[in-house]
Structure 1
C-alpha cells in the first residue's frame, strides 16, 4: 500500500531534495518534476500496488491534489 509519506519521500528522492522540503501544496513541475520523472514515479508506485491512472498525476500538480484524488478513488 502506498502512503502519502512514501510518495513524498519518492518525489524528494527523484528531485534530489529532503522529504521535509516537499510540501502538499508545492507545484511539483516548478520543483523540477518533468514528465519522465513523473512516469518513473508512477511506475514504481504501481509496482507497489497503487492503482491509479497516469492522467491523474499529469492533471494535478501537487502532492496534496494527488493524495486527495487517490483517497477519493480508493473510497469510491
Structure 2
C-alpha cells in the first residue's frame, strides 16, 4: 500500500461489503450502507477483491469504490 494510507485509517477496517446471489455488492462504512455496485462495476470489484492479498488491500479497494463520499463533517453516532 505504501504511502496510500498515511493516517492508517484502513487498518481500522471501517469498510465492509456484502455480495448477493445476483452479484450485487453492498458497501458499508461503519455499518452504514453507502454504495451499491451492480453489473460491470460489481464484477470488476469482486475480481479485484478475490485477488487481494491482505485485508488492507480489500479496505483500499472498498475506499476507492466508494469514491470521495466523506467530506470531514460527518459525525459518528453514539
More strand by share: 2
With structure 1 as the length reference, what TM-score do the two structures score?
0.35
Q: Which has the larger radius of gyration?
A: 2
More helix by share: 1
